[in-house]
C-alpha cells in the first residue's frame, strides 16, 4: 500500500485543526522505538519576565513527525498515530510546549476524536511519544 502522509496531514489539518498547524514534514521511520513521535526543538528554559516561571520556547520550523514503518500497511493506525502527533504539534505551536499527555492534552484529543468520528488514542499500546 502506498500511503501519502503529506496528503493525510493536509486533510486533517484542514478538517480538524482549521489549518492552524504549519506545514510539518511527516515521514515513516525504521529507527523509532514507538508508534510515532513529534520532534521539536526548544530554546533553553528561561525565566519568563512577567510570569516569573520557567518556560520553554518553541523554535519555529523545527517540527517533524515520524511514524513507525511497522504501520505502513495499516491505514487506520496511521491516521490515529498521525492525529495524536499532530495534537502534540498543535500544543508545541500554540500552547505550553511541554504539556505531555496531561489533562489539557487529553481534553483536546477528546474534542478532536468527536470531530473525527473515531477514537484518537491518548497514548498508544506501543508507547507513543
Write out the residues near Zn ion by the rule CB under 5 A: 128
Tell me the closest approach of the beta carbon of residue 36 to Zn ion, in angstroms: 8
Residue nearer to Zn ion on the CB measure, 65 or 128: 128
> Between the CA of residue 54 and those of 43, 90, 94, 95, 99, what are the distances in Å?
12, 21, 17, 15, 14
- Closest residue to bound Zn ion by CB: 128
Measure CA 2 to chain center: 22
Tell me the closest approach of the beta carbon of residue 101 to Zn ion, in angstroms: 6
Residue nearer to Zn ion on the CB measure, 8 or 84: 84
Tell me the closest approach of the beta carbon of residue 22 to Zn ion, in angstroms: 19
Residue nearer to Zn ion on the CB measure, 89 or 128: 128
Whole-angstrom distance, CA of residue 77 vs CA of residue 81: 6
Q: Give me the residues paired with residue 57 across strands.
A: 43
Q: Show the cell assigned to 95.
A: 500552547
Amino acid at each position: 500500500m502506498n500511503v501519502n502522509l503529506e496528503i493525510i496531514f493536509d486533510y486533517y489539518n484542514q478538517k480538524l485543526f482549521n489549518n492552524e498547524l504549519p506545514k510539518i514534514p511527516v515521514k515513516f521511520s525504521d529507527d523509532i522505538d514507538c508508534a510515532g513521535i513529534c520532534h521539536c526543538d526548544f530554546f533553553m528554559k528561561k525565566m519568563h519576565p512577567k510570569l516569573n516561571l520557567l518556560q520553554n520556547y518553541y523554535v519555529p520550523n523545527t517540527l517533524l513527525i515520524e511514524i513507525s514503518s511497522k504501520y505502513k500497511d495499516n491505514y487506520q493506525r496511521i491516521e490515529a498515530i498521525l492525529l495524536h502527533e499532530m495534537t502534540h504539534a498543535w500544543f508545541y505551536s500554540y500552547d505550553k510546549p511541554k504539556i505531555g499527555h496531561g489533562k489539557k492534552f487529553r481534553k483536546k484529543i477528546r474534542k478532536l476524536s468527536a470531530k473525527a468520528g473515531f477514537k484518537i488514542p491518548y497514548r498508544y499500546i506501543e508507547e507513543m511519544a
